[in-house]
Amino acid sequence: MQSVMSSGPSLEADSVSILRSIIPGLESTKHKGQAGKIAVVGGCREYTGAPYFSAISALKIGADLSHVFCTKDAAPVIKSYSPELIVHPILEESYSIRDEEKSSISAKVIAEVEKWMERFDCLVVGPGLGRDPFLLDCVSNIMKHARERNVPMVIDGDGLYLVTNCLDLVSGYPLAVLTPNVNEYKRLVQKVLSSEVNDENGTDQLLSLAKGIGGVTILRKGKSDFVSDGKTACAVSIYGSPRRCGGQGDILSGSVAVFLSWARQCAAKGEVSMNPTILGCVAGSALLRYAASMAFDKKKRSTLTGDIIECLGRSLQEICPV
């Protein structure tokens, strides 16, 4: 029986033990893909950094393959950041197409993603996605297909904007993980609970929110990260950095995708008993916070997201040496 809490009344999760329990061994018998195939749906004309941070973090943590489904404009830019990523330039924003093209483009997008969908262990929906209505409509269709195929989804950034306005996309889907920052959490609470964020009763409110969306898992980001699936709640407060450079949430989304895939593999073998989405969130949060503190020790005020990504490998090695 796996315990997510450390002993005592604190909500703090035993995140180091959780990390160690779900990280797979590196065995010579394994083939490419067994350690995880992740896809990020995000990246538009404005934002190319966010999907890159998410997808490259997944690889640096140990996934074997990392795909990005983005707009045609964003693709060459994301490809130029890294030859490691498999980049699909399939999405379109309204400015680049005529109204009469919309239905055929929408069908093409879903046909392209469908070719790959069953191979993915997890999707990350939203990093740098933007808010173009036509693009979000296509992404809604991608999410519906992922759900039909029982593919887990980590929803972040503009994916949360989409989901907050259309809760049915995730409501009642236990393989959905929402990772809101302070603004995104506020919008979710207002929409689902018709109230304002109440920090005095923060854990109860988080439990109600996760329950209100039908048992999805929510990772509320902040000074401490709080995680709940509507039944249990826990926190990750260890490590962290005082630098709040943009992009740390993107590292987190890619990390959670990998860890929840690993946690599901462990759960299928009966090695863990906690909800794998909770384990994935706790592990992702702890690793990001550890890498951020390591990067800050070295770079101080000039710490950027790229510096934190560079520390992911050493952080993993210190927590779970190979």
Ligand X SMILES: NC(=O)C1=CN([C@@H]2O[C@H](COP(=O)(O)OP(=O)(O)OC[C@H]3O[C@@H](n4cnc5c(N)ncnc54)[C@H](OP(=O)(O)O)[C@@H]3O)[C@@H](O)[C@H]2O)[C@@H](O)CC1
Q: Based on CB atoms, which residue is closest to Mg ion, 36 or 249?
A: 249
Separate counts of helices (H) and strands (E) for the chain: 12, 9
Kindly tell me which residue out of 184, 225, 229, 307 binds ligand X, with binding defined by CB under 6 A.
184
Q: Based on CB atoms, which residue is closest to ligand ATP, 113 or 283?
A: 283
> Taking contact as CB under 6 A, which single stretch among the options 10-18, 178-186, 210-218, 313-321 is the one that binds ligand X?
178-186
Residue 157 makes contact with ligand X by CB under 6 A: yes
Q: Based on CB atoms, which residue is closest to ligand X, 176 or 207?
A: 176
- Packing angle between helix 49-61 and helix 248-268, nearest 10 degrees? 40
Kindly tell me which residue out of 36, 51, 215, 249 binds Mg ion, with binding defined by CB under 5 A.
249
Is residue 243 annotated as involved in ligand binding?
Answer: yes
**Environment class of 78 (CB within 10 Å of its CB; exposed 0-12, middle 13-18, buried 19+):** buried
CA distances to 75, 93, 112 from 98, in Å:
21, 10, 20
Residue 247 makes contact with ligand X by CB under 6 A: yes
**To the nearest whole angstrom, how small is the minimum distance from the Cβ of residue 251 to ligand ATP?**
7
Which residues neighbour 19 within 8 Å (Cβ) at sequence distance 6 or greater? 259, 283, 286, 287, 319, 320
**To the nearest whole angstrom, how small is the minimum distance from the Cβ of residue 40 to Mg ion?**
13
120 makes contact, choosing from Mg ion, ligand X, ligand ATP, none, with CB < 5 to 8 Å by partner type, with none
Residue 180 makes contact with Mg ion by CB under 5 A: no
Is residue 141 annotated as involved in ligand binding?
Answer: no
Give the separation between CA 81 and CA 188, rounded to whole angstroms.
33
- Tell me the residue nearest to ligand ATP as measured from the CB: 249
Which residues neighbour 14 within 8 Å (Cβ) at sequence distance 6 or greater? 3, 4, 5, 6
**To the nearest whole angstrom, how small is the minimum distance from the Cβ of residue 222 to Mg ion?**
12
Q: Based on CB atoms, which residue is closest to ligand X, 241 or 275?
A: 241
Alpha-helical segments (H) within the chain = 15-22, 49-61, 74-81, 102-117, 133-148, 158-165, 182-193, 202-212, 248-268, 276-299, 305-310, 312-319
Kindly tell me which residue out of 172, 222, 246, 313 binds ligand X, with binding defined by CB under 6 A.
246
Q: Based on CB atoms, which residue is closest to ligand X, 12 or 158?
A: 158
- How many other CB atoms are found less than 10 A from the CB of residue 303? 23
- Tell me the residue nearest to ligand X as measured from the CB: 49
Q: Based on CB atoms, which residue is closest to ligand ATP, 205 or 248?
A: 248
Give the separation between CA 288 and CA 294, rounded to whole angstroms.
10
Q: Which amino acid is at 97?
A: I
Indicate the annotated binding residues for ATP: 221-225, 240-249
Which residues form the interface with ligand X (CB under 6 A)?
47, 49-50, 127-131, 157-158, 181, 183-184, 246-247, 249-250
